[in-house]
Amino acid sequence: MPDSQSISAAVAELYNTYPFPPEPLLDEPPPGYNWRWNWSTAYNFCTGRKPQKQDIRILDAGCGSGVGTEYLVHLNPQAQVTGIDLSAGTLAVARERCQRSGADRVDFHHLSLYDANQLPGKFDLINCVGVLHHLPDPIRGIQSLATKLASGGIMHIFVYAELGRWEIKLMQEAIALLQGTKRGDYRDGVQVGRQVFAALPEENRLVKREQERWAMDNQRDACFADMYVHPQEIDYNIETLFQLIDASGLKFLGFSNPRQWTLDRLLAKNPDLMARAEGLSDRQRYRLIELLDPAAVTHYEFFLARGEFPLIDWSSDEDLLQAIPERSPCMDGWESSYLFNYDYQLIKLSEAEFKFMQVCDANQVQKCSIAEILIDAPLTLENVRSLQQQQLILLTPHP
């Protein structure tokens, strides 16, 4: 069994060979957004309200080639960002990427997640995407990061799920067997893997899953290598996922793709089954969902926080009317009545909703309450709550 140090060295060598993610370097800010990387929208998702401060510290833990780091800088104009990674070669790409696009509020450190304690101070937002599952000891990794999370801060995590990656695990083992003594030669691994896919019958289960789910990204060798010849990968199910979360000592705030974790999308047509599920705990319900829809669960993406965390559900009409609304800064489709909500579902705003949103768009300066806005842009409070729940508006409680 390889020791932790040799595994870490092998992972670093993979990413020195294939810096990841392999997105092109641009001489301008990257297009689009990921709302999970914007402090205001991520905090609003977790708490129901806009954060009170914007001058925060962000840690991109396992930043790779800096794709996420670059977004973190551009999407958070008052934040100071730090990126750490185990691969020196990949860090060089990250530095160049951020320099070229003008992401100048970032500093990089050649560090393992295990050594996050070497960084000074605490962080309000810690982003760790696609990293923990590649560590020899993910629990040690998440515990290391937890020590750097500031009180009132949030941590965004992404790890792999075993059920939706079943075919990937089979192909990983097949490639390793065929490589034999050449295992660890990642370019050879990519060559062998591509030859296997080309040789297998079209109706083969591994081929079909690759074509329907992964083939577009895997045209790039770096993506193929990261998926099929990675030297270290731990995949999770709901039970082992929450063992990881519990070991962190942090509070689970929820999955950032909540629609995936609603049972009614699977069993709504049978009220008896829905009634039976009411007695399940949250974790049991999550497990039921992944058992019933395994192919859809390829990863888990979620938020954690330290200790008690404020949550506003805006059930009080009085509180809602006094709140100050703003348009979300992460919105695909504005200024149009056809938009994608936070779950990337296409929606159409009614004429009244669109007019209300237009007023919210200018409200960061004017600071009008919802009650004041409704005078000239009438909308029901339930419609206002719907806009908030879809993360289209951010609310600040009345001071």
Query: Can you give the pLDDT at residue 199?
Result: 98
Residues 65-75: tens digit of each pLDDT: 999 999 999 99
Report the 10 Å Cβ neighbour count for 166. 16
Query: Can you give the pLDDT at residue 1?
Result: 53
Secondary structure class of 254 (helix, strand, coil): strand
- Span 304-328, average pLDDT: 92
Banded pLDDT at 345 (limits 50, 70, 90): confident
CATH entry 3.40.50.150 includes domain 15-162+235-305 = yes
**Average pLDDT over the chain, rounded to an integer:** 95
Pairing relationship of beta strands 393-396 and 346-348 according to DSSP bridges: unpaired
Residues 243-266: tens digit of each pLDDT: 999 999 999 999 999 999 999 999
- Span 367-384, average pLDDT: 94
Residue 100 has pLDDT above 80, yes or no: yes
Residues 6+ apart with CB under 8 A from 183: 176, 189
- Span 47-57, average pLDDT: 96
Rounded to 10 degrees, the C-alpha dihedral 364/369/372/376 comes to 50
- Span 2-18, average pLDDT: 90
Residues 199-246: tens digit of each pLDDT: 999 999 999 999 999 999 999 999 999 999 999 999 999 999 999 999
Q: What is the full DSSP assignment across 166-192?
A: HHHHHHHHHHHHHHGGGTT-HHHHHHH
Q: What is the largest CA-CA distance in the chain?
A: 74
Residues 101-120: tens digit of each pLDDT: 999 999 999 999 999 999 99
Instruction: For Cα atoms 43, 44, 45, give the angle at the middle one, nearest 5 degrees.
Output: 90
Query: Can you give the pLDDT at residue 342?
Result: 80
Residues 6+ apart with CB under 8 A from 228: 168, 171, 172, 175, 189, 190, 193
The torsion angles phi and psi of 30, rounded to 5 degrees, stand at: -70, 150
180-189, 283-292, 356-365: least confident range: 356-365
Per the listing, tokens 């390829």 go with 298
User: Which among 73, 88, 140, 151 is positioned nearest to 113, based on CA atoms?
Assistant: 140
Secondary structure class of 62 (helix, strand, coil): coil
Burial 246-266 (b: 16+ CB within 10 A, else e): eebebebbeebbeebbebeeb
Residue 332 has pLDDT above 90, yes or no: no
User: Which among 34, 306, 301, 342 is positioned nearest to 157, based on CA atoms?
Assistant: 301
Across 152-156, 305-309, 339-343, which has the greatest mean pLDDT?
152-156
Structure token digits, residue 307: 């200790």
Banded pLDDT at 127 (limits 50, 70, 90): very high
Question: Are 205 and 166 spatial neighbours (Cβ–Cβ below 8 Å)?
Answer: no
CA distance 239 to 300: 12
Residue 3 has pLDDT above 80, yes or no: no
Residue 21 has pLDDT above 70, yes or no: yes
Secondary structure class of 229 (helix, strand, coil): coil
Pairing relationship of beta strands 80-85 and 106-110 according to DSSP bridges: parallel
- The pTM of the whole model exceeds 0.85: yes
- Span 338-363, average pLDDT: 91
Q: What is the full DSSP assignment across 276-333?
A: HHTTS-HHHHHHHHHHHSGGG-SEEEEEEESS---------HHHHHH-EEEE-S--BS
Question: Are 125 and 202 spatial neighbours (Cβ–Cβ below 8 Å)?
Answer: no
Residue 307 has pLDDT above 80, yes or no: no
- Span 188-204, average pLDDT: 98
Q: What percent of the chain is modeled with pLDDT above 70?
A: 99
Domain residue ranges of the chain, discontinuous segments joined by +: 15-162+235-305, 170-228, 317-396
- Span 283-294, average pLDDT: 98
CA distance 385 to 376: 18
- Span 264-276, average pLDDT: 97
Structure token digits, residue 88: 């020196």
